[in-house]
Structure 1
Amino acid sequence: MKMQNFKFQSSGLGRFFGPLEAKIMEILWTAESEITIKDVQHKLDREKAISFNTVMTVMNRLVEKGILQKRSLIRSFVYRPVMTREAFMEAQSKELTFDLIEEFGSQAVVHMVDALDQVDPELLDRLEQKIKELKKDR
C-alpha cells in the first residue's frame, strides 16, 4: 500500500497522515484487539473533545485508503489496522526508496551512502553483507 501524500516537513506518522489520522492510528496500533469508534473517541477525548461523527468519518476514510479493516458486530463496527505499525513503516520506507531511486537514480543512492556516517556501525555491517549477497547473485 502506497500512501499518496508524503510530507517532508513533518516527522513520524505525520509524514503519512493528518494529525487526527495519526492519533487514531496510534490508538489502533496500541490496542490489544479490534476497537470501536466509541472506544477510539474516548481515548481521544482525554486530549480534547472530538465528536463521534468526526472520528467515524476519519476511521472510515482510513478503511477506504486500505489502512484499516472494518467488521460488523451486532449494532456496531470494530476496526483494526491492516498491518502493524512496524510493517506499515517498512512498506512506506521501501516505497519511498524505490520512488527516490526511480526519480533521481544514482544521485539518491550516493546521498544515502553519504548519510551512513550517521548510523550505527551494526547497520553498516548488515548493509555490507546485503551488498555482498546482491553481488553474489548477479
Structure 2
Amino acid sequence: MKLQHFKMKESGLNRFFGPLEARIMEVLWDGREQEHELSIKDVQQKLETDKQVNFNTVMTVMNRLVEKGFLQKRTEGRTSLFQPVQTRHDFINNQSRELTHELMEEFGPLAVSHMLDELDEADPELLEKLEEKINLLKKGK
C-alpha cells in the first residue's frame, strides 16, 4: 500500500498518518502483537489519556483506515473488530523501501551521495551491513 503523503517535518508515524490515525495504528499494532482484534470501543478507551476522544470520531478514522487499506474489519454480531493489515515492522519496512525507491527515481546519484554523507553518524553495525550488501551487489547477487 502506497501512502499519498510523507511529512518531512513530522516524526515517527505522524510522517505517514494524521495524528489520530497514528495513535489508532499504534493501539492496534500493540493489540496485534498480543494477537487481538480490537473494537472501536477498545481503541477509544486505550486512546484516552488526558482528554476524551469521541467514539464517532474514532469510528470514522478507523473506517477510513480500512478504506485506505491499512486495517481489516470483520463483524462479529453487532461489533466490528479491527486489526492492521501489516505488522508495524512490515509497514515501516515497506514505507522506507518505497521512499528510497522514489528518492532514487527522482534524484539518483544525489540521493546516494546524501545518504553516504549521513553515514558519518551511523553505528558500526550498520556500516558492516552496508559493506556486505555492496559486496553482494558487486558479485552480481
CA distance in 1, matches of 2:78, 2:19: 29
Tell me the number of residue pairs that the alignment of Structure 1 and Structure 2 aligns. 138
Which aligned pairs between 1:1-138 and structure 2 lie closer than 5 A? 1-31=1-31, 32=34, 33-137=36-140
Identity %: 61
AA in 1 matched with 2:21: E
Alignment gaps of 5+ in structure 2 = none
CA distance in 2, matches of 1:53, 1:105: 45
Alignment gaps of 5+ in structure 1 = none
CA displacement at 1:106 relative to structure 2: 0.6
CA-to-aligned-CA distance 1:8-51 (integer Å, 9 cap, x gap): 00000010011100110110011121000010011112331111
CA RMSD of aligned residues (A): 1.0
CA distance in 2, matches of 1:116, 1:87: 24
CA displacement at 1:124 relative to structure 2: 0.5
CA distance in 1, matches of 2:48, 2:137: 50
CA distance in 1, matches of 2:129, 2:37: 36
Structure 1 runs of 4+ aligned residues shifted over 2 Å read none
AA in 2 matched with 1:6: F
TM-score (normalised: structure 1): 0.97
Partner SS state of residue 137, structure 1: coil
